[in-house]
Structure 1
Amino acid sequence: MLFSKKRMQTTELKDYNRQLEWIVGKWRSEFSGKVFWPTVPTMTFGEELIIQEAPMAKSANVQFLNFSARAWSHSTKDHFHDEWGFLTADLTGNATLITAGNNGFTTYEVGRVSSNKLVLVLKDIGRISFSRDLPVEDLRRTFIRHDDRYMEQILEMRTATHPKSGYLEHTRVAYTKMK
């Protein structure tokens, strides 16, 4: 198991985050993650995604959800990357995801949550100065819950070299909800 067995909190989500209840939980894909990009070989990976209630900061009076993702190579079991962050929504369906990853990137993404779907686009990105990756210029992250057991995440992006406009699909992961 990649994450601790600490019990997930089950307290009631605040009004503005109730619309995200469908995404809360532990989601896992052993080998259904796919990486696509013109400059790298297509490969398969596993990923565990945990989204759960975070303690509420009384000073901000905003409830966030903890967001964590850990990915590994399907074939070699080598560790790929981690993402840690916070997700929240307001009463009108505007959503924000803030992440930091061990790949040297931090993201600030905004979008809309609707019934069983969350679409986020890049608002800002930070990166360490010695990152070897091509600069990411735009990103769109989509979560779609297909039913009570299955959810998909699609990550599309544009770098300094690919494509000239719009997005190219970079990863797609189909998760199963864990109990």
Structure 2
Amino acid sequence: MLPLRNAFSIFIFVTLVPFTQQVLNEQNEKLQWIMGKWRSEFFRKELIIDEAPVAKSANVQFLNFSARAWSHSTKDHFHDEWGYLTVDPAGNATLMTTGNNGFTTYEVGQVSPNKLVLTLKDIGRISFSRDLPVEDLRRTFIRHDDRYMEQVIEMRTATHPKVGYLEHTRVVYTRLN
């Protein structure tokens, strides 16, 4: 065995900054009931709404929003949505999402105890998306009790209906945490 020549050592010091849970501001406290990890095994959907660090540049507190959907029978992946949810001082909720289906949405609405109703204010889509163009959307969350929450998505597309909304999905979630 040859002697080790010109040996050197590298020491790397890693400082882990723990993620500390933020205290929800007065406006976002109105969303406390919707926070957590929710899942529907029947419809194969998962929803996670959790606090996000405050971006000091904007000084606005948001909640992280993520939703996943997959086939009940084949387990094939349908789509994901990621975004942010917040409530302004006037009590208006805003949800901004982007999904791997080519859509981005900007939705606004009012929060009431155990209910949130959002309506579409703007939508963007990539030009080659295969989905039928969505023209309007209403998303409603209703917490029935500590264990169950329902989400109803209604929409109007380029072909149906001409006015109002058509129910797209109605999912009852069970709280996982």
Do these two structures clear the TM 0.5 threshold for a shared fold by scoring above it?
A: yes
Q: CA deviation at 1:10?
A: 4.0
Cα deviation code 1:76-130 (max 9, x no counterpart): 1111100000000023320000000000000000000000000000000000000
Matched, 1:78 2:76: yes
1:9–1:103 Cα change, 3 Å = farther
Q: Counterpart of 2:123 in structure 1: which amino acid?
A: I
Using structure 1 for the length normalisation, give the TM-score.
Answer: 0.86
What residue ranges of structure 2 are gaps of 5+ in the alignment?
Answer: 1-18
Aligned counterpart, 1:25:
36
Structure 2 residue matching 1:161: 3-state secondary structure: coil
1:9–1:50 Cα change, 3 Å = farther
CA distance in 2, matches of 1:9, 1:134: 42
Matched, 1:61 2:72: no
1:24–1:9 Cα change, 3 Å = farther
What residue ranges of structure 1 are gaps of 5+ in the alignment?
Answer: 1-7, 32-44
Aligned counterpart, 1:4:
none
Whether the 8 Å contact between 2:22 and 2:53 is mirrored in structure 1 is no
Larger Rg: 2
Q: Counterpart of 1:18 in structure 2: which amino acid?
A: E
Aligned counterpart, 1:15:
26
Task: Report matched runs for 1:8-157 at 5 Å.
Answer: 10-31=21-42, 45-157=43-155
Q: Counterpart of 2:108 in structure 1: which amino acid?
A: V
The structure 2 residue matched to 1:173, chosen from 171, 174, 177, is 171
Q: CA RMSD in A?
A: 1.2
The structure 2 residue matched to 1:163, chosen from 161, 164, 174, is 161
Whether the 8 Å contact between 1:139 and 1:156 is mirrored in structure 2 is yes
- Alignment length, in residue pairs? 159
Q: Percent identical across equivalent pairs?
A: 80
Moved over 4 A (4+): none
Q: CA deviation at 1:131?
A: 0.8
Q: CA deviation at 1:9?
A: 6.3
With CA pairs under 8 Å and 6+ residues apart, which has the higher RCO, 1 or 2? 1
Structure 2 residue matching 1:103: 3-state secondary structure: coil
